[in-house]
Every structure is written in structure tokens, then in C-alpha cells.
Structure 1
Amino acid sequence: MYIGLDLGTSGLKGIVMDDDQIILAEAHVSLTNERPFDGWSEQNPAAWIAATDTIMQTLKTKIDLSAVQAIGLSGHMHGAVLLDAEDTVLRPCILWNDTRSASEAATLDADPQFRALTGNIVFPGFTAPKLAWVKAHEPDIFKKMAKVLLPKDYLRLYLTGDYVAEMSDAAGTSWLDTGARDWSDALLAATDMSRDHMPRLVEGSEVSGQLRTALAQKWGVQASCVIAGGGGDNAASAVGVGVVKAGQAFVSLGTSGVLFAANDGYQPDADTAVHTFCHAVPNTWHQMGVILSATDALNWYGRFVGQDAAALTSQLGALQAPTKTQFLPYLGGERTPLNSASIRGAFTGLEHATDTAAGTRAVLEGVTYAIRDCRDALAKTGTKIDRLLAVGGGSQSKYWVEAIATALGTSVDLPVSGDFGGAFGAARLGQMAASGGGAELASAPQIHATIDPNPSLISAFDAGFARFKAGQAAVKDLT
């Protein structure tokens, strides 16, 4: 058996998986964020340790854990856990959605070696600008800092007693030479850091250490249990849905939207605002186009018309040609390809005939076109998508999935119902580490349906996307 632990911003999830990758038990503990000032977002790492113990004790009551061979870790990326020489946490962890280091990020991004070596824009949420902020605003803490760890790797320290990170999470720090899969001395020096501050690196499917004896005894896990390298949340989720080879991709229709594609080579283009990171399996990279409002946009519209998302989409029937009404889904800025925190959304082309259903279709189409924007940005880097898997709550709408298939000209597979998130991917990485195996253990889930593009509507969706781009340009001019 194998355990996957996924440290999310709002909670820690744990699952137990058997050798056939069937989930046998699961548990969840909620977590809260602190926002002491505008733009700040922090958590106390001690809460993660307490949650881990609660998860393991809960799983122990549900199933005998004595056969567990490995634990895999997944977690939210970019966070900064600062430790002194005694491993004491010096301040709350600065999270991925904390924007206080915007000016520091801009300064680092203006240094051309950052994009050249990391393959990415230095976003305010990344780890390196957070440390630059600490150095400028909390110099006493910066001087005491002996190690900086990413969130899931602080859990690893608790589990193993060792400082270890893996490639996919490390690629989101702005300190990793992403092509070489190693820390960059030049980038570390640019923030007055050195390798002494950093954990050693392993691949996500490798063994990173062994579970402490005291914890193995406490939780009823065999003494030989190992801890896998694991992965950042999206990379681990990709392992969960079997997206580990070039040409494979998934679209996640959650609160935000992600178009994630695996690559067998390193092919960055930071100007596209595409994230280019190492994958959680060796010799593989991945790219992500990210939009900030996917189902969030539909829920927002639902509040206007007094209906929930399921009711709105269930009334649509068969896929139709795009509406005259256009929706630009930039409710709180956008990442790919615009990289703008200030751009805002809009409805255009409203008329007397625009009813609730037309508005629903416009919202779904607008998000669909934003995903096509991500696809086009990935294509500029040379990334090819042969087939697409859809996950997340929005994938339950056949109308929406068919719109995406038609707008992108790509068949979309829908997996059988199940949990294919970060915890499942982490458990798979644990199985890989324990077996010495590779990416073949991360096969695609069973598919219950494939949605093909509607050939009669492809040209209409192409024309709709052209209108969307024109509206996008007009909105950009207003910001």
C-alpha cells in the first residue's frame, strides 16, 4: 500500500492506495490562511504538522497501515518556510497567493538571467522575490535564516529529518536552472542566497528519505517505509491523470483553469506567460497555461441570474454556434497569455434577445476561448497536444467540454468518476519510488466518454474566437 499526502491552501488530504491503485481510505483536515495586511497570505507551518498527524491517525483507524511501503507528497507551490540553524520556523510561511513582493519580483525579472535560466517570468508569487522582501523588510529574520523550504518539503523534514526538494516544486522558486534541473548559483547570489540555504534535489519518483522510526511506530507503518520526492500540486495531479509524456495534456475546469501539457524536452518562452517547469518524473518537463476564472466565472454569472451553475448548464441542450454576446472572463486579472493583474472582464454584444441561456453560453464560450488562448501560447513554445483529458467540476457539463473540443479542434477524454488529484498522484509517485519504476505506473485513468469536435461548428467557433481577441484588445486598452 501507498499513502499520498496533498498539502493544499485550504486543507491537507491523505489517501491510502493499494498496489492496483485503488483508493482504500481517505481523510481531510481543513486549514486557514491569515491575511494580516492587504496582499498578504500566510500560514503557520505548525498547523501542517498537526494536520499530518491527524490525517495519519484517522487513516490508521480506517485501515491497517502496516503494509504501507511509501508515502508521496504533493503541495501548493512557491511558499517560503524559513528555518534557523535549529530548524525553528522564523516566521509564518508566505504563500503562493501573497503579492507583497511585487516590486521585488519586477526587479528580479528585469535581470535577464532569471528568464534565461528559469524559463519563466518572475511572478510575485514565486519564492525568490519573497526572500528579497524578507531581506529588505525583516533583515533580522533574513540573517538568522539557515534553510528555506517549500511547504510540502517542510512536511518532509518532519517525516524524514532531511532537507530535500524535488524538481517540479523547485522550478517554481526562480532559483532553479530549469533546463539543467539544478540550483543556479548565479540566481541564488542575486538574492544573497547560496546552496547552503537550499535543500538537496531529487526527482519526484525517487526515494528522498526514510520515515522516522518514531513516526512509523506511532502510525503503525512498517519501519522500511520510504518518502518519495513527490511533486508540486499540478505536477502531482498530472501524474494522477497519467499526463507524463509529450503530447499528453489535461484541462482542469475548476475555480481557475489550467491547460497542462507534458514535454520530453525543455522549450521555454517566458514572454508567453506560460509556466515552464520540470515535471515530477525524470527527464520530463511540463508547461501550463493558467486562467484565473473558469467555473468561478460561471458561478459569478449565476449569482446575477439567481441560478446555480448546474441548473444553468443543464438547460443548454446540444452545442450551438457561438452567441453574438461575448464574455471576457477577466474578473480578477489574467495570467496566460496576458500577464495582467489589472485587466477586467466585460460582456459585449448585448441585445434585446439576450436571455439567461445566451448569457450562460457566452460565459462558457469566453472561458473556452481563454483556454484556446493558453493552447496558442503553448504552441508558440513548440508544445504539441495530441489528446486532451478534462477534469474538474466544469467537465461535468457536456456542452462545455464539446465547446472546448470544437474550439481547440481536439478530442477530449472524460475519465470515469474518481479522485485523480494531487493526493492520488503523490501516492502514485510513492509507488514509483518504492518499486524503482518509472512513468509507466502513471497510466491514464479509464475513459468513460470521448467528446469529439463538432465539425459543423468549427468555423463558427473560429469566428467567435476572432471576435473574442478583438474584444480582448479593447479591454486591454481600458486598463
Structure 2
Amino acid sequence: MYLGLDLGTSGLRALLVSENGDVLAEEEAKYGTQTPHPGWSEQDPQDWVTACETVMGNLRQAYPDKVAALRGIGLSGQMHGATLLDADHNVLRPAMLWNDTRAAQEAQRLDQAPHMREITGNIVFPGFTAPKLDWVRSNEPELFDKVALVLLPKDYLRLWLTGEAISDMSDSAGTAWFDTGARDWSDAALAEGHMRRDQMPALVEGAAPGGQLRGDLRAAWGISGPVVLAGGGGDNAAAACGAGCFAEGSGFVSLGTSGVLLAARSSYAPAPATAVHSFCHAVPERWYQMGVILAATDCLNWLSRVTGQPPAALAGTLPAQIAGPSTLTFLPYLSGERTPHNDPAIRGSFVGLDISHDQAELTQAVMEGVAFALRDSLDALSVTGARLETLLAIGGGAQSEFWLDTLASVLNLPLDLPEGGAFGAALGAARLAICAVTGAQPEDVMTAPPIARQILPRADLTDAYAAAHDRYRALYPAIRGAFQ
């Protein structure tokens, strides 16, 4: 048996699979996020441990024989977080998450430092790990002096599971301390951020062994033999493993809390000026690039809160088929934006509101705005040389037929919808564990899911959506001055 653990922003998901990849059981435990000040986003790392104890306890109670046969665990997790530990591995402060934007000034300083983009292959975004530590240095100097180790969220969970400080290439590439082409920590980037290599975890590839489960946990969970932990991966790299996206030309679009448009690459081809992320993949000698928007289904969740209607009810107000773009334009910058603007200060807007607009038209505009933002990411990816002919559509927003039809026509790309079942980050983590334990090749384990159906762009509407996207794109510079 093999286990995939995906440490997400809102909860930990566990997936128990057989060696041939069949999903046998799953569990989930939720936890909260604290926002003590505007722009701050923090979690208590102990909540991650508690969630792991919960899911493992539930799995053992329901499937004791399967848990006893566990031989490998793969880890996936939210990227860019900063978990600060002292020399005794005590947590020094709440972990600062990927959507924490307090370090915007520090990110700008690091991004303007000589050779940083060349080394890392990326803009230094405020959500990355390095500017967070620079913020701590400036604002919590006594605490900064005690920092002996910085771990990404999933790797703090690994530390609890194994007692070892280890990370993988894909997650580490999102810190802005990493030489993404060389797949190693960069002493120059670390020094620019006032950090040292000895404060970093050891590195392994995602499909390689990365520690062994502690004996006391094996005994507590009734596991009969040794358990290897795989290096694992950042959430999007692991999701790509779960979806079989690691060959050149393959990719997916994810309508989750944030929005992601990912393209797998067989070579390293960074283009930082596009605000496209270029990271190591979780499998050796592969990379991936992605455009990221900070709010996708989060935009619909926001509209749900202000209207008092559940997201599903909002989606249900829309017709079965698209009929062309709305006269109302929504800019989905509720938490700032990454690709292509790298602008933590920008905020969302409705443009063209009319007294006649109703709840359904607001919902349509929100869905279209997210689709237009993802079109910006597709255009940015094309500058890097990435070429995508189809995309796998995943994430909670992919349950809306209207949203999928809109997205296919805005991107002007067919969208493949996988058959029901697991194919995300937790499955990708479990697959990485299979490779780490058995030595199997990733291409033999990380197959694409069966496709239930394909949604094609509406040829009669693509020109109209292209024109609407042009109007949308022109609005960013028009409103930007109001948020500077």
C-alpha cells in the first residue's frame, strides 16, 4: 500500500492506493487560516500535525489491514510557505503562507538585486519564501536571529514524520533561494536574502527516497514494516504527476481557490519578465511553467458571501449554454495578481455595472473575468515557447458546465474532462511514493486519466470572446493608478 498526503491551504487530504495505482480509501481533515492584519495569512504548523494524526487514525480504524501494509508515503503541499524553526526544531512563529503579501517591499528589493531572476528563473513574488524571511529580519529581528532552519509546509510535516529536514526540487524552486536550472540551493540568492545554506533542508528529487517513517509512528498506526517517504512535490507539480502531465506539450488548467495554467517542459526555458513561474518538476530532468492567478473559485466564493447564495446556486442561475460575453466586465484581482502583472496592490473591479444587471449577470461576469485572467496566463506561456493543443480541466470550478464552455472559448483550446475519481495532488504524491519504493519509472506510473469527454471552443463565439478579452486587458492599466 502507498499513501499520498496533500497538505493544502484549507486541509490535509490522504489517499491510500495500491501498487498499481488503484485508489482504495481517502480521508480529509480541515484546519483554519489566521489573518491578523490585512495582507497576512498564517497557520499554526501544529494544525498540520493534528490533521495528519486525524486522517491516519481514521484510515487505521476503517482499513487496519491496508494501513498495516503501508510501504511508502508521498507528500504534496501548498508552496512558498515559511515555517521557521530554532536549533531544537521548535516553531518560532506561525507559518506565513503562499497568499501572504506583507513582504511586497522586500520582494521588490530582492527582485531588483543583480542576477536574482537569472539564478531563480522567476520574478521574486511577495508570496515566495525568501521575501518573507527578509520581512522577519526587518520586523522581528530577535526572532530572525534564532532561525536555524526554514521548511516549506509539507517538509515540516515530513520532519514530524521522519525526524529529518529534507525537501524536493519542485517545492524548493518556489522559495527564490534556488537555482532552478542547476536544481540546487544558490549561495548567491541565499546571501542576497541574508540566509545561509546550513539553514536549508537537504534536497532529493520528488520520486527519490526522502526519509523513513519514525518507528513510534509505525507502531502507533499498526504498520508492519519500514515505510519510505518520497521527496514528493509542491502541489502543482504533484497534481501534474497525478494527471500524467510531465511530457512536453501536456498541461492542465485548474479552477481551484487560485487558478493555474500549467505546461510541462522537457527543458529549462525561463522567461521571468512574463511573470510565468518556471519551476523544477517533481520528476528528474523535467521542469514546468505555469501562469497563476490568485483568485479563481475564490471569486465565486466572494460573490457567494455578499449575495448570501451558495456557489452552486449562483452557478445554477446561468443557462445551459454560453451565448457570448457579458456587457459587464469583472477583474478578478481580489487578492492582487501574479501572472502577468506581478501586482500585489491591485484590487478587483466590476466595470460597466448597469441598474438592469442581476445576480446571474454578476455570476457570468465573475466566471468570464477568471477565464480572461487565465487567457493572460496562456498568452504569457506562449512567450516562453510552451505550446499546448489541449488542456486537462481540473479543480472545483470544473463542475460548472457554463464556466468550462466559457473557458474553452476564451482560451480557444479544447478542454479534456477526466472521468470521475482521484487524479490530483494526493494521487501524484502517492505515485511519487511508488517510484521511490519500487524504482519504477515515472512514465510507467504517472499515466493520464481516462477522458470522459472533451469541450470544444465555440467557433461562432471565439471572436466575440477575443474582443471581450481585449477590453478586459485594457482595463488593468486604466485602474492601476487607483491602487498605487
Would you call these one fold, judging by a TM-score over 0.5? yes
Aligned residue runs from structure 1 range 136-147, under 5 A:
136-147=138-149
**More off after superposition, 437-446 vs 291-300:** 291-300
In 1, Cα distance between equivalents of 2:119 and 2:184:
10
Could you say which residue in structure 2 is the equivalent of 1:217? 219
In 1, Cα distance between equivalents of 2:101 and 2:368:
30
In 2, Cα distance between equivalents of 1:474 and 1:386:
33
The count of residues paired between Structure 1 and Structure 2 equals 479
Q: Is residue 456 of structure 2 the alignment partner of residue 424 of structure 1?
A: no
Residues 1:52 and 1:355: Cα distance change in structure 2 (over 3 Å): closer
Q: Is residue 455 of structure 2 the alignment partner of residue 451 of structure 1?
A: yes
Query: What secondary structure is seen at the aligned counterpart in 2 of 1:39?
Result: coil
Aligned mate of 2:101, from 80, 99, 102: 99
Could you say which residue in structure 1 is the equivalent of 2:335? 332
Question: After superposition, what is the alpha-carbon deviation per residue over 1:197-218, rounded to whole angstroms, capped at 9, x for unaligned?
Answer: 1111111111112222222222
Residues 1:346 and 1:132: Cα distance change in structure 2 (over 3 Å): closer
In 2, Cα distance between equivalents of 1:101 and 1:327:
27
Could you say which residue in structure 1 is the equivalent of 2:28? 28
In 2, Cα distance between equivalents of 1:158 and 1:306:
40
TM-align CA RMSD: 2.2
Could you say which residue in structure 2 is the equivalent of 1:391? 394
Could you say which residue in structure 1 is the equivalent of 2:416? 413
Alpha-carbon shift at residue 228 of structure 1 (Å): 0.3
Could you say which residue in structure 2 is the equivalent of 1:468? 472
Residues 1:304 and 1:128: Cα distance change in structure 2 (over 3 Å): closer
Amino acid at match of 1:181: R
Amino acid at match of 2:472: F
Identity of aligned residues (%): 53
CA contact (8 A) 1:281 1:438 kept: no
Could you say which residue in structure 1 is the equivalent of 2:51? 51
Length-normalised TM-score, structure 2: 0.92
CA contact (8 A) 1:249 1:259 kept: yes
In 1, Cα distance between equivalents of 2:12 and 2:95:
15
Alpha-carbon shift at residue 234 of structure 1 (Å): 1.6
Could you say which residue in structure 1 is the equivalent of 2:162? 160
Q: Is residue 279 of structure 2 the alignment partner of residue 277 of structure 1?
A: yes
Alpha-carbon shift at residue 431 of structure 1 (Å): 1.2
In 1, Cα distance between equivalents of 2:273 and 2:175:
18
In 2, Cα distance between equivalents of 1:30 and 1:11:
4
Amino acid at match of 2:287: W
In 1, Cα distance between equivalents of 2:49 and 2:308:
41
Aligned mate of 1:370, from 370, 373, 394: 373
Could you say which residue in structure 2 is the equivalent of 1:15? 15
**More off after superposition, 119-128 vs 227-236:** 119-128
Q: Is residue 41 of structure 2 the alignment partner of residue 41 of structure 1?
A: yes
In 2, Cα distance between equivalents of 1:468 and 1:33:
32
CA contact (8 A) 1:241 1:443 kept: yes
CA contact (8 A) 1:211 1:226 kept: yes
In 1, Cα distance between equivalents of 2:482 and 2:194:
39
Amino acid at match of 1:254: G
In 2, Cα distance between equivalents of 1:439 and 1:249:
16
CA contact (8 A) 2:321 2:405 kept: no
**More off after superposition, 216-225 vs 384-393:** 216-225
Question: After superposition, what is the alpha-carbon deviation per residue over 1:20-41, rounded to whole angstroms, capped at 9, x for unaligned?
Answer: 3222222222223344444333
Alpha-carbon shift at residue 293 of structure 1 (Å): 2.7
**More off after superposition, 241-250 vs 130-139:** 130-139
Question: After superposition, what is the alpha-carbon deviation per residue over 1:431-454, rounded to whole angstroms, capped at 9, x for unaligned?
Answer: 121121232211111111101112
Alpha-carbon shift at residue 352 of structure 1 (Å): 6.6
Aligned residue runs from structure 1 range 68-83, under 5 A:
68-83=70-85
CA contact (8 A) 1:237 1:420 kept: yes
CA contact (8 A) 1:337 1:377 kept: yes
CA contact (8 A) 1:316 1:357 kept: no
- Long gaps (5+) in structure 2: none
Residues 1:348 and 1:128: Cα distance change in structure 2 (over 3 Å): closer
In 2, Cα distance between equivalents of 1:228 and 1:196:
22
CA contact (8 A) 1:328 1:366 kept: yes
CA contact (8 A) 2:44 2:94 kept: yes
Length-normalised TM-score, structure 1: 0.93
Query: What secondary structure is seen at the aligned counterpart in 2 of 1:267?
Result: coil
Query: What secondary structure is seen at the aligned counterpart in 2 of 1:155?
Result: helix
Could you say which residue in structure 2 is the equivalent of 1:188? 190
Residues 1:255 and 1:87: Cα distance change in structure 2 (over 3 Å): closer
Could you say which residue in structure 2 is the equivalent of 1:4? 4
Amino acid at match of 2:465: F
In 1, Cα distance between equivalents of 2:80 and 2:19:
32
Question: After superposition, what is the alpha-carbon deviation per residue over 1:1-26, rounded to whole angstroms, capped at 9, x for unaligned?
Answer: 10111222322222211123222222
Question: After superposition, what is the alpha-carbon deviation per residue over 1:323-357, rounded to whole angstroms, capped at 9, x for unaligned?
Answer: 33332222332221112223233333455765544
Q: Is residue 149 of structure 2 the alignment partner of residue 133 of structure 1?
A: no
Could you say which residue in structure 2 is the equivalent of 1:198? 200
Query: What secondary structure is seen at the aligned counterpart in 2 of 1:112?
Result: coil
In 1, Cα distance between equivalents of 2:50 and 2:366:
41
Query: What secondary structure is seen at the aligned counterpart in 1 of 2:68?
Result: coil
Could you say which residue in structure 2 is the equivalent of 1:60? 60
Alpha-carbon shift at residue 301 of structure 1 (Å): 4.0
In 1, Cα distance between equivalents of 2:354 and 2:370:
21
